[in-house]
Amino acid sequence: MKTLMVKGLLLLAIVCSCRAADSIWEVCNKDSNISGSSQISTNIDSLLATLVSKTPSRGFLTTTSSSYNNKDNVYGLAQCRGDISKSDCSSCIQDAAKRIREACPNQSDSRILYDFCFLRYSPENFFGKLDTGSGLIYFNTANVTETDPKTFDNELGALFDRIRSEAVLPKSQGLGKGKAKLTPFVTLNGLVQCTRDLTELECAQCFATAVGSFMTTCHNKKGCRVLYSSCYVRYEFYPFYFPLDPAQTGRGVGTISSVSLSP
């Protein structure tokens, strides 16, 4: 895995991460141009309708849409982060289904990720296949100054070892979250989430790849999100997962930068 390029520098004050507002990653595979097939487009619409209506009740769905002659198949997956409410899940999937068609109007292989949910479809059956082929990292450019880098690495490593082993248990449905006190005044909040079509082993592999960026691109940074199609890992110095921790008053402020990852 190598870092491709710094995609952009967005200045933002993270007042609250409680909004699912905007997508954080959109991928339209340019090799999947729909080129005149209105049937596949119809199948994508029907697939999206199913994902929107049926995902929120379980927080996860895979479904297929095809024509009567079994052609123009489209495979779709939608998943909400395991800690969010059914109503937030529902609005996130609705936004995703609408936005992905605007972002990728002429592609049949597309993905969109929000902090609260993920939606993907493709003419290829990708269910159960680990995908760390391309990814995106967001990190807070501020360095950790509350502890020395070694102490920070150790605390971060211990927290993520703990939440990763929790996430791969079948009952966790790919979600792990937890916190650790870095100093009496600073709490580290972490979350990991795999797509629920993966096996325990594939999920663990995805986390290992993603968490690897904590020691490279994100090393000693005050916050980091590593995004792949198969998993999402994140830590922050402020609470961002639900239920929000009332004991922490800290808010994240800083400059967020992003870097694309390619295989």
Ligand X SMILES: *[C@@H]1O[C@H](CO)[C@@H](O)[C@H](O)[C@H]1NC(C)=O
* CB burial string 12-50: b at 16+ within 10 A, e below: eeeeebeebeebbbbbbbeebebeeeeebbebbeebbeb
In the bound state with ligand X, the residue whose beta carbon lies nearer, of 142 and 253, is: 142
In the range 119-148, which residues lie near ligand X by CB under 6 A?
141-143
**Selected binder of ligand X within 7, 57, 105, 161 (CB under 6 A):** 105
**Selected binder of ligand X within 106, 125, 154, 183 (CB under 6 A):** 106
In the bound state with ligand X, the residue whose beta carbon lies nearer, of 172 and 257, is: 257
In the bound state with ligand X, the residue whose beta carbon lies nearer, of 232 and 235, is: 235
The yes or no reply on residue 262 touching ligand X (CB under 6 A) is: no
Please state the φ and ψ torsions of residue 50, each to the nearest 5 degrees. Answer: -65, -45
Min dist CB 100 to ligand X, Å, is 13
In the bound state with ligand X, the residue whose beta carbon lies nearer, of 30 and 58, is: 30
Min dist CB 47 to ligand X, Å, is 19
Measured in whole angstroms, how far is the alpha carbon of residue 64 from the centre of its chain?
A: 22
In the bound state with ligand X, the residue whose beta carbon lies nearer, of 3 and 57, is: 3
Min dist CB 220 to ligand X, Å, is 7
* Distance from C-alpha of 216 to C-alpha of 1, rounded to nearest angstrom: 11
In the range 64-103, which residues lie near ligand X by CB under 6 A?
none
Total residues interacting with ligand X, rule: CB under 6 A: 8
Min dist CB 37 to ligand X, Å, is 11
Written as six digits, the tokens of 246 are 């009332």
Please state the φ and ψ torsions of residue 225, each to the nearest 5 degrees. Answer: -125, 125
Min dist CB 249 to ligand X, Å, is 23
Round to the nearest angstrom and report the end-to-end CA distance of the chain: 5
Min dist CB 231 to ligand X, Å, is 27
Contacts of 249 (CB under 8 A, 6+ apart): none
In the bound state with ligand X, the residue whose beta carbon lies nearer, of 140 and 230, is: 140
Q: Where are the alpha helices (DSSP H) in 80-130?
A: 86-103
In the range 21-50, which residues lie near ligand X by CB under 6 A?
30-31, 33
Which residues sit at the interface with ligand X, rule CB under 6 A?
Answer: 30-31, 33, 105-106, 141-143
